Amino acid sequence: MNPTFTLVLCGVALGLPTAGFLINALSAGRLPHRVVTLLGPGVVLGAFAASVILLVELLTQPPSGRGITVILWHWLNLSVGPANGALGRAGFNANFSLRIDPLSILMMLVITGIGGLIHVYSVGYMAEDPSYNRFFAYMNLFITSMLVLVMSENLIFLIVGWSMVAFASYALIAFWYQRPAAVAAGRKAFITQVIGDVGLVLGAFLIFLNLRGSGGQLLRSVDLQTIFANVGPGPHFHNGLGPSGGGLVTAIGLLLFLGAAAKSAQWPLHTWLPDAMEGPTPVSALIHAATMVTAGVYLVARFHPIFQQAPVAAGVVAAVGIGTALMAAIIGCTQFDIKRVIAYSTMSQIGLMIFAVGAGAYAAGMFQFFTHACFKALLFLAAGNVIHALHDEQDIRSMGGLSTRMKLTFGAFLVGSLALAGIPLFAGWFSKEELLSSGLVLGPAVPWLWLLGVSVNVLTSFYIFRVVWAVFRGEPTSERAAGAHEAGPTMLAPVLVLAVLSAVVGFLNIDFFGFHPITLFSTFLDPVVGGSPAQSSPGIQAVALLAGTLLSLGGVALAWAVYGRRLVSAQLISRHLPWLYQLSLNGFYWDELYGTVLVRPTGAAAAMVRVVFEGELFESLVGGVRAGVRTLADDLRTMQTGYFRDYALLFFVCAVIGLVVLGLRLA
Amino acid sequence: MTGLFPGFLTLSAAMFSIGALGVMVRRNPIVVFMSIELMLNAGNLVLVTYARYTHTMAGQVFTLIVIAVAASEVVVGLALITGVYRSGRRLDLDDLSEMRE
């Protein structure tokens, strides 16, 4: 690959959204509406074009050569230290360097491609909003941050991108700052992100302080390729971060996963995601479905050499992932807000991806990320069409009968639901079944996790088809639903493009049964994440596939029986297992638990500090000082007569006293 | 010549005291200014006396500088006095005491 050409393309991909953000932000609303419309989505689509050229350039290389590091600029270069100093002769380098390899290019394509479609959609969705340009400024900033995060070849800039993403997410969730609920949701998301940031930063510190080269010397490197080359039993056979399974590398793995859990809304840092639905719907599609929440999956996949050295940490990752997937799927079955259902579904699907990357099936996890980005963005945008048509109504109990009024949106939503549910030949089926079956053969505990995973399948297809029937079938249950009509072209076109993608992208990676596999996708990722894990026998795989598919179809049938035909009462569970229903309806009470354990004690402590310190202590201290100064000033002011001769007299008297003192000392 | 030094110094001290007294007791700003000039010149006299006594030039040079500064000070001061007079106020320092508060 030509380094200069790659550098220019990387600069374009990163520079265009940055420029879009700066122009939109600094013009402060003075740009005409039409210019913002061209600029906002335009820069992202430009970045997408650059990413596609990079992909083509990458594909022209042999698989082993698919990976290039370009240095955008030299940031810190301390290589002139003393030969035996603490940093050694090599010194410390931190450059703004970018890595282009199959993993990062995949992320870039999804971020700019799906992101670009969502930008186009926003043109229609946000057209009436008075802060139109502010919205696009934040959206462009988000794209920039995300690109920094996935392209960075350097721990420092990875963390920079990681935190910028958190800020952009905060700004977009709290975009409608006039709504107290939106502001509170933004704050909650940001605080949760910062908890994760602490984990990521501590993990990075541990790597930086402890990484040793093959000679046992401390490397003091923040360069990702250097770190990965020295971590595992690579070509030089040494464990740069202690022995495999050791305490150090396990601690690093767990700390990194804390960061990943906060970004990817995994238990126990998951509570921000449902609240984040207060933001505009394109934001939910962009951030909380396609890109930001998958940053945790990317992080674990990118740092897989460390997780491979830390089986305990990887096991925790897999267990947390599958647990979150199951919990979120159960919650999703009882929610009434259409966006919250999809949000819990996102949490659940990302739990599956986290499970896959924790279990070592990195390519399967990233494939699920790829298909999920398509069909989940589609579901959010189609839901956005519905919400828009119903004038910001989000409760599925007030919808119904929309399939005749919004035919295209219904079709798109149905495709997205089929893909999400894992119905054969739609994208989700390929990725999810591959993910589950590859998880089946890894590690002794994993088959049990697989069982949990396929039970998620039933719940997934149940809750999403519950929404399909409640929103699109039956009779309208409100005047708004009865008066709904199809969305405009800018909102419909991206939805239809995503619907086509959701239907076909699964064919990129047909891997079942072992014969004639078209594993384009896994093969593409192999140079980064290593070869596919060992496969179990085709027989077991076929059984697993059949079981997973049947369970998915069973979920659809169940939803049809309950909500379509009303063969089974929807109140069955709530009547016979009220505790389960309440648990699900209230999101397993995590918000209440955190409220009781963390938020309220902190609030009480703050209130006490306000009364005791601010009210009593500081008030009397500050008040006392103020009163003292006042008295002193009143006394001193009497000296100030305003008569010139008084001042002159004082001056002379003091001068005489000074002279006398001086004379006495000299004498 | 040495015998005259006490005389010069006494004269200087007398001029300075008269000037200081004038600054303190007179209410007319122009007279106050004249008193200040008297004090400055008393200082100049001491400077040149000692310059002469020690056979150095520093005192002479310093006196020239004092004269120059005194001249500029008079310009500023007279401009202020003229300004006050033009504003229709009496030239009485005791009346000009609003800056107290």
Average confidence (pLDDT) over A456-482: 81
Joined together, the tokens standing for residue A448 give 């049990």
Verify whether the Cβ–Cβ distance B25 to A644 is below 8 Å. no
CB contacts, 8 Å: B96 with chain A: 644
Three-state SS letters, A428-493: HHHHHHHHHHHHHCCCCCHHHHHHHHHHHHHHHHHHHHHHHHHHHCCCCCCHHHHCCCCCCHHHHH
Looking from the CA of A439 toward its CB, the CA atoms found within 13 Å total 38
pLDDT at A643 over 90: no
Verify whether the Cβ–Cβ distance A642 to B97 is below 8 Å. yes
A638 touches chain B (CB under 8 A): no
A328/A353 Cα distance (integer angstroms): 14
Q: What pLDDT, on the 0 to 100 scale, is given for residue B66?
A: 94
DSSP letter for each residue of A553-584: HHHHHHHIIIIIS--S-TTHHHHH-HHHHHHH
Confidence of residue A46 (pLDDT cuts 50, 70, 90): very high
Residue type, A256: L
Which of A18-27, A406-415, A480-489, A524-533 shows the highest mean pLDDT? Answer: A18-27
A200/A254 Cα distance (integer angstroms): 9
Smallest Cα–Cα separation from A452: which of A641, A324, A260, A564?
A: A324
A331/A351 Cα distance (integer angstroms): 14
Number of H helices, E strands in chain B: 3, 0
Verify whether the Cβ–Cβ distance B97 to A645 is below 8 Å. no
Smallest Cα–Cα separation from A192: which of A274, A278, A248, A315?
A: A274
Look up residue A85 and give its DSSP letter.
Answer: S
Which residues lie across from A99 on neighbouring strands? A69
Smallest Cα–Cα separation from A94: which of A16, A158, A154, A184?
A: A154
Verify whether the Cβ–Cβ distance A643 to B97 is below 8 Å. yes
Joined together, the tokens standing for residue A286 give 């962009």
DSSP letter for each residue of A414-432: HHHHHHHHT-TTSHHHHHH
Average confidence (pLDDT) over B75-90: 89
Cβ atoms within 10 Å, residue A278: 23
Residue type, A665: R
Q: What pLDDT, on the 0 to 100 scale, is given for residue B96?
A: 78
pLDDT at A584 over 90: no
Name the residue in chain A with its Cα closest to that of B16: A652
Reported as type and span, the H/E element at residue A74 is: strand A68-77
Verify whether the Cβ–Cβ distance A644 to B100 is below 8 Å. no
The count of residues in chain A is 667
pLDDT > 70: percent of chain A: 91
Q: What pLDDT, on the 0 to 100 scale, is given for residue A493?
A: 85
Is residue A511 classed as helix, strand or coil in its secondary structure?
A: coil
Asked whether A357 and A304 are in contact (CB, 8 A), the reply is yes
Name the residue in chain B with its Cα closest to that of A647: B24
A633/A610 Cα distance (integer angstroms): 31
Residue type, A13: A
A652 touches chain B (CB under 8 A): yes
Query: What is the nearest CA distance from A636 to chain B, expressed in angstroms?
Result: 12
Helix A538-559 vs helix A407-421: crossing angle, to nearest 10: 140
CB contacts, 8 Å: B99 with chain A: 642
φ/ψ of residue A212, rounded to 5: -115, 145
Q: Which residues of B touch A (CB under 8 A)?
A: 20, 23-25, 32, 93-94, 96-101
Average confidence (pLDDT) over B43-51: 93
Asked whether A260 and A297 are in contact (CB, 8 A), the reply is yes
Q: What pLDDT, on the 0 to 100 scale, is given for residue A167?
A: 92
Cβ atoms within 10 Å, residue A94: 17
Cβ-in-10-Å burial (0-12, 13-18, 19+) of A306 comes to buried
A347/A342 Cα distance (integer angstroms): 9
φ/ψ of residue A398, rounded to 5: -95, 10
Look up residue A243 and give its DSSP letter.
Answer: S
pLDDT at A647 over 50: yes
Q: What pLDDT, on the 0 to 100 scale, is given for residue A237?
A: 59
Tens-place pLDDT, residues A221-266:
788 888 888 886 655 556 777 777 777 888 999 999 999 999 888 8
CB contacts, 8 Å: A659 with chain B: none
Residue type, A50: A
Smallest Cα–Cα separation from A168: which of A21, A20, A383?
A: A21
Name the residue in chain B with its Cα closest to that of A645: B24
Q: What pLDDT, on the 0 to 100 scale, is given for residue A268?
A: 85
Average confidence (pLDDT) over A645-666: 90
Cβ atoms within 10 Å, residue A588: 18
Look up residue A391 and give its DSSP letter.
Answer: T
B20 → closest Cβ in A643, A644, A652 = A652
Is the Cα torsion angle A128, A133, A138, A140 positive or negative in sign? Answer: positive
Verify whether the Cβ–Cβ distance B98 to A642 is below 8 Å. yes
Tens-place pLDDT, residues A312-338:
888 888 889 888 988 898 888 888 888
Average confidence (pLDDT) over B7-32: 91
Verify whether the Cβ–Cβ distance A648 to B25 is below 8 Å. no
Helix A538-559 vs helix A427-440: crossing angle, to nearest 10: 130
φ/ψ of residue A595, rounded to 5: -60, -45
Q: What pLDDT, on the 0 to 100 scale, is given for residue A83?
A: 47
> Is the whole model's pTM more than 0.80, yes or no?
no
Say which residues have a Cβ less than 8 Å from residue A138's Cβ, sequence separation at least 6.
A21, A168, A171, A172, A175
Residue-wise burial string across A593-626, b where 16 or more C-beta atoms lie within 10 A, e elsewhere: ebeeeeeeeeeeeeeeeeeeeeeeeeeeeeeeee
Asked whether A447 and A543 are in contact (CB, 8 A), the reply is no
